[in-house]
Structure 1
């Protein structure tokens, strides 16, 4: 083994070893393990075992079959770990739902029974020609599902990365890192690019130390109520201009304000940003609450209808612009225009 191979072996094994140590730390030492941290522990341990097997196989092709089976079996847990980490982190899950337990139980059963009934040592052809395809397909399906979970965060990362908070940046790093590791293994497995097999361990080492850096700098792995309340970083002016324009286009183009059940989350989804970012945009950059912002559009449209559609009653106008009761419409009108609909109409009719 020359000096280059020695360095490559050291870097690769360092990541696998430290990954196991970190996963054990999360499991044994860290107090009050949240649901997200449990899945992060499983992810790190699974990746570390898979990476360790890759390193030793790369430098020792005659590695016993049992180690190959362990490495591929661990690979079967990577996809689910990634997906359920993000599910629990993004929803602030405090416990593991029964549906998740059933999903994990079924997959763990398949993993254990499959390993016992069809061991790699006895059936290498089945593992190499069937099982490995199932493992990579399952991993890919979970990565795609995770990408849909992170769709708005990923879109923001590629368009306005400066608006992401540290937790969201960690999420992007973790997802893209796993995707690149998967791609490295897939390209190597398909013999498309030679030398990609060892790239997985090297990339994992890099990803692991970036994760450690994020953690040491105080970044939370998941969204917490405290983090949402205390984060007051102002959105950059250039990004705010883009978002405000997108917000106005959605409000007017789709007449979203006419929906009496419109919520902040609905509006955030319509313009592909997080609820927290939209709330921050409205409060810090526009200087209005969500209700005030929407009411202004509704009352502006109500005034237009009062001026142009004399046959409509005030109650009908209120329903038309998005209010589900006459009293709510009157209260909002008085707050925005400092008068009642009737007095506004009388004033408009008497205007020269």
Structure 2
């Protein structure tokens, strides 16, 4: 009875993974490639899980099916990376370099070293290489999760889309860990992990707004209390204090500290920034810091870009480069070159 329950729970996740993959493929919005890659991510994960489930309960499973299941793992990392990666018009074909080479390599290996005849090579070398590649893409994908981690550090409220992406990332990382540690736990742990994580994601999907172009839409805040024009003008003037005193140069400067400095409530400041300025407090501070960095790029000469980021209030080089590129459309080096040309 316990084995039947274990089989049911682990197989159920794989089955629903296929259904959810089909759902995202059909409902993927035009030009939102992340939806397609999420669909493919769920598909290859489901193939891997199905292989695990049937191999665990039927060790005499066809070696060809085992090879397909293991080969699917080579695309889990790339599809995770691509579904989290922000879409850009000039990067329509960037998915090719992350998918096609691995497809060719695993196909060639599967042809010349089929699993049925070279089990030891697969177990000792090919599978380890696949899991290493999967891990590399987990690390590469981390840069797209960093803005969410930054929000958590700054104690900002997360949008549902943030929770969605974070859940996908942590879920795939946890499944990788479950399979990597299978030798010390149980082979079926990976399949059970997938079922558990999938249902967490389905719970998030339950709150999906069908009119949203991505997946989730944040509920309207403060709708029962509108801010009058006099208060808006007052806060607009007070915000200049942050710029004049360069309070944003403190890497740990957050909404709570700003509210205390400006002598207004945290709720009121948050409402003004979100509703009137149409951005988060974190993004507002990033804009102040980027403006500071631009001034330093235009006036200073003896510095490194890393030190420039710290001098502008950023707490890491990667955060600085990401914010600068997003706000200005240039990297710091590109911006510096454009400034020198205009002089």
Distance 1:271 1:54 in 2: 48
Match of 1:173, SS? Answer: helix
- Maintained 8 Å contact 1:35/1:96: no
Report what 1:174 is aligned to.
168
Report what 1:11 is aligned to.
9
Distance 1:40 1:176 in 2: 14
Distance 2:214 2:56 in 1: 41
Report what 1:64 is aligned to.
62
Question: How is 1:1-352 mapped onto 2 (pairs within 5 angstroms)?
Answer: 3-28=1-26, 32=30, 34-87=32-85, 91-93=86-88, 97-157=92-152, 160=155, 163-188=157-182, 191=183, 193-195=184-186, 197-218=187-208, 227=217, 232-233=220-221, 252=246, 281=270, 283-284=272-273
- Maintained 8 Å contact 1:83/1:146: yes
Name the TM-score, length of structure 2 as normaliser: 0.63
Distance 2:48 2:102 in 1: 17
Match of 2:114, SS? Answer: coil
Alpha-carbon displacement from aligned partner over 1:11-54 (angstroms, at most 9, x marks no partner): 10011111112212322465647201110011000000000111
Residues 286, 271 of structure 1: alpha-carbon distance in 2 compared, 3 angstrom cutoff: farther
- Maintained 8 Å contact 1:35/1:94: no
Larger radius of gyration: 1
Match of 1:98, SS? Answer: coil
Distance 1:16 1:134 in 2: 24
- Maintained 8 Å contact 1:43/1:77: yes
Residues 96, 15 of structure 1: alpha-carbon distance in 2 compared, 3 angstrom cutoff: farther
Residues 169, 223 of structure 1: alpha-carbon distance in 2 compared, 3 angstrom cutoff: farther
Alpha-carbon displacement from aligned partner over 1:319-352 (angstroms, at most 9, x marks no partner): xxxxxxxxxxxxxxxxxxxxxxxxxxxxxxxxxx
The Cα of 1:226 is off from its aligned counterpart by 10
- Maintained 8 Å contact 1:155/1:272: no
The Cα of 1:253 is off from its aligned counterpart by 6.7
Distance 2:204 2:33 in 1: 19
- Maintained 8 Å contact 1:15/1:205: yes
**What is the RMSD of the two structures over their aligned residues, measured on CA atoms?**
4.0
Distance 1:285 1:26 in 2: 30
- Maintained 8 Å contact 1:36/1:93: no
- Maintained 8 Å contact 1:16/1:52: yes
> Unpaired segments of 5 or more residues in structure 2?
223-240, 256-268, 279-283, 293-343
Q: Which moved more, 1:197-206 or 1:126-135?
A: 197-206
> Unpaired segments of 5 or more residues in structure 1?
235-246, 257-268, 274-279, 299-352
Residues 272, 78 of structure 1: alpha-carbon distance in 2 compared, 3 angstrom cutoff: farther
- Maintained 8 Å contact 2:18/2:42: yes
- Maintained 8 Å contact 1:167/1:219: no
Name the TM-score, length of structure 1 as normaliser: 0.62
Match of 1:102, SS? Answer: helix
